[in-house]
Chains A and B, each alone.
Chain A
Amino acid sequence: MSRLRLAGGRVYDPAHGIDGAVRDICLDDGRIVADLPPDAPTLDVTGLVVMPGGIDIHAHIASGSTNLARRLLPEEHAADPEAAPPFAAGRSGTGGTTPSTFTTGYRYARMGYTTVFDAAVAPLMARHSHAEMQDTPILDTGFYVLMGNDDYLLAELAAGRTRWVKDYAAWLLARTGGYAIKIVDAGGVEQWKAGVKELIDLDDPCGPNGLTPRKVMLALAEAADALALPHPIHLHCNRIGQPGNSATTLRTLEALDGHRAHVTHLQFHCYGGERGKGWRSEARAIIDHINAHPSLSFDVGQVVFGPATTLSGDCPAQYLLHRAADRKWLNVDLELEGGCGIIPYAYKQSAAVAALQWAIGLELFLLAADPWRIVLTTDHPNGGLFQAYPHIIRLLTDRAFRAEALKAVNPKWLQGSALLDGLDREYTLGEICIITRAGPARLLGLAGKGHLGPGADADITVYRPQDDAAAMFAAPVHVLKGGVPVVRDGALVASVAGRRLSVAPAYDEAVVAEVRRFHERFGSVSFENFASVA
């Protein structure tokens, strides 16, 4: 079915200012076209809501660390098997907080999402991520490449040799087939490997000659800007999850001073208070700054009550959580470029910190002035699972539902939270469309996604309007990927292969010899094979 007219739907296409108008959407050969001849096949979607396919800007679905998490959690998989869908290429799998690859693709697609970015891939493991993504059906996928704890970069910066940073970043992106620069706790993971057990702050030393996380972050932000990458630095700030970290976050945002940046899972970085003396929300101070600075965007990292797995390149933060949570703990230090830490976790409504985290996420949603610069995420599977997105959408669109949910949380744990002030905003469907597809597409620089104009990829989700937005968004009536119907009435009917989304910025070839010299001295993999994905 290469040509198709979706006829009579209520179309949400915020990129073109269309907010629920009734009109036809025409598809031909995987893309949206302006019109089709009258004899083209028609799918009647009268009365239904038509949106671009969902885009997840930050999830952990296809990486070496995701796979270590899968391996760590056989008990979750056993409790959540998934049979193969009923078509020839269909594959079975398992779920839990870290589903197998085929199940990941299917579950996202059944929810109307068609594009997902893995948030953290170390260059050494890039080849692994490509293999997992090949086995993740339906979704177009890409990944962000970890930088900022790599020994080569830190050594160059400490020596004041900043001239290669741009070329080095470009070479790594091209070499790995990555999409954007990811910074996780700049300099802090290197410090963890050296034995530092606390999370370092923006201006703490993270190397010789006065090297600090601030300098590392700014060098990479400048590189991303100079390379005109479609997505700016994707920034996991220092001191994640610590009471009082909002001061670090604010200083970080101020330091960026006009550089583009996407701050990820911001919810985890908005805490006031002190360890042992109570936590409080500082969401308002953070969101006020972001609202006033158009060069900044963020995704929320909403906490959802229930099971999760914390899975992060921020090894020292994971170590601290391991000490506090007393769950099984996995840490792997990756040579010359960071590491990962994994802990199975649960957010309990009855737990003070979890309740505050839940509330802070909602505050960020409800106080954000510009829906184009905020994206719905749970930092899957860290704050909760991607399958919780429909539930979160209902919390945003349904004030009464949110009020009921708030009643179940002890207000004494929500110190400083604007939620207690009775935030009564309700997201419109158009705004939901922005924070789940149109906005992330724009923030990622994906010209062919997140909208329904001619030339766009024919990734389309059709929902039946319902009072219960969670039910509406959990089970689309139709999902088309590249024009191919893959979901009908919430069930998979076909599968297609997704595409890889990557960038290949130009760089000065001379940087390769520089990196090779370092790598041949200290690496354990032949340079020809390092981060080789071909």
Chain B
Amino acid sequence: MTTTHQAVTCLGCGCACDDIAVTTADGAITRIDRACALGRAWFEGASVPAACTVAGVAAGPEPALQAAARALLAAEGDLLVVLGPDLSTEAVRWALHAADRLRATVDTATSSAAGEGILAAQRRGRAGATLGEIRNRGDVVVFWGVDPAQRYPRYGERYAPGPPGVHVPEGRASRTVVSVTVGDDAGPEDADVHLGVAPADEVDVLAAMRAVVQGRAVDDLAEPLAGAAALAQRLMKASYAVLVHDGEPQAAARSPRRTEALITLVQALNTPTRAALSTLRAGGNANGAEAALTWQTGYPFAVDFADGHPRYAPGARGLDALAAGRFRAALVCGEWRGLAEPARAALAAIPTVLVGPAASTAPFPVAVAIDTGRAGIHEGGTAYRLDDVPLPLRPVLPHPRAADGVLASLACHLADPAFAGRS
């Protein structure tokens, strides 16, 4: 039977486009409408097995859960929990329940660059907006060292500069688009205004722009600061200026002060006009994991429960400590294929429990593998867009097990004092 599912949320990138139509027949996706190439790739990776293994041998789900609980309890206090990028927020909540119970160290799909951005926003705050507000108001849109067409293909079409908005009725024609190219990170070619900045000058350029915005006159500037000052003047005349930057790792490492400089510039712009910073984030549901971690622990990533309560350790990420031999066991939830080779080798050396899509096909030895579906394809729940807007996930294909259910069962086993495996 052929079924078409409407308003499906895609997790191919942080845009989380939720207008996708997915047609299925006989347990397979046969047609995908409105998705970009990244989205098609996301949905086309849909086929996953439905096995459970203990020590590499096929097992039933319940024995696998019990073996998993035993392995994890044996390493209480010296345990790593990894939250992959494509877990529903509901699954993340249960994984954190287990991590709290096991006094584990939690690491997530939050990239190093994204983590630096979060730390900068924790120092300074930020001035932001949800994507719809950027669509409806942004009349000057600056793409700072990023062309979203590359890694966020529908950003321009869905949010800005393409679509018309309440206060920008002609869409692209109502907006001025500025492309700032920073080294090899090019802005969009079809912009109205272009500015080039050498990576070494980037933070100084942003500081000079902020000085102009704050009315601290800077005369007789040489390039590149003169061009930056002119851009600052242009932004001050906007009704609603938007700066878009990439929160994920780019071609070359950037100054760790870059995001803070962007944040403070956009905050300052809110005195002469209105402005928002839009931070692009990768696909999956890293933003959802950060949200759930924050409401359960107070911290958005790099949380360590080893002391019996949440401790923030952004300078000592769990996956880094894994390679150094810090842990006696690990629970990897969600997608494992993004794990680098050193992490895989370290996981192979300790009892590791994998709960996620195609866990049973991992090419490194694990103690327990429990296959689940993939959030947003086989599993419902919630994912967060790059602007922290929660969206429902609509399963389009069946799978016998969902990660949130498996992790809830695991948490129950861990918390049950009568559980036979405890001793």
Contact = CB atoms under 8 A, between A and B. Distances in A.
Interface residues of A, number: 66
A414 B18 CA distance: 55
A135 B132 contact: no
B258 interface: no
Q: Per DSSP, are chain B's interface residues mostly helix, strand or loop, or mixed? A: mixed
Nearest to B166: A522
Contacts of B93: 131, 135
Nearest to B97: A91
Contact of A74 (B122, B166, B239, B307): B122
B268 to A, nearest CB: 11
A78 B311 contact: yes
B159 interface: yes
Nearest to A527: B7
Interface stretch (A81-89, A433-441, A504-512): A81-89
Interface string B377-405: 00000100000111110000000000000
A331 interface: yes
Interface in A377-416: none
Contacts of A66: 295
A322 to B, nearest CB: 8
A335 B132 CA distance: 5
A329 B264 CA distance: 10
B294 A71 contact: yes
Contacts of A219: none
A332 B18 contact: no
Contacts of A88: 415-417
A77 to B, nearest CB: 3
A366 to B, nearest CB: 37
Contacts of A73: 122, 298
Interface string A178-218: 00000000000000111101000000000000000000000
A81 B309 contact: yes
Given A151-B166, A525-B389, A529-B391, A124 B310 contact: no
A334 B123 CA distance: 22
B100 to A, nearest CB: 6
Nearest to A96: B298
A141 to B, nearest CB: 13
A136 B390 CA distance: 18
A330 B132 contact: no
Interface stretch (B248-256, B270-278, B353-361): B270-278
Interface in A124-157: 124-125, 127-128, 131-132, 135, 151
Contacts of B341: none
A335 B299 contact: no
A208 to B, nearest CB: 12
Contacts of B309: 81-84, 92-94
B267 A329 contact: yes
Nearest to A525: B18
B227 interface: no
Interface size class of B (residues with CB under 8 A): 35 or more
Contacts of B166: 151, 336, 522
B388 A64 contact: yes
B108 interface: no
A70 B125 contact: no
B132 A71 contact: no
A462 to B, nearest CB: 29
A193 B18 contact: no
B239 to A, nearest CB: 6
B295 A101 contact: yes
A319 interface: yes
A532 B390 CA distance: 9
A525 B7 CA distance: 9
B19 interface: yes
A77 B167 CA distance: 40
A522 B310 contact: no
Given A77-B312, A328-B125, A335-B136, 4 more contacts: A100-B295, A331-B125, A527-B7, A532-B392
20 contacts: A70-B298, A71-B294, A72-B125, A73-B122, A78-B311, A91-B97, A92-B100, A92-B305, A93-B309, A124-B130, A124-B389, A193-B137, A193-B274, A329-B127, A329-B267, A335-B132, A522-B132, A522-B165, A523-B132, A529-B392
Interface of A: 62, 64, 66-68, 70-74, 76-78, 81-84, 88-89, 91-94, 96, 98-102, 124-125, 127-128, 131-132, 135, 151, 192-195, 197, 319, 323, 328-336, 339, 342-343, 522-529, 532, 534
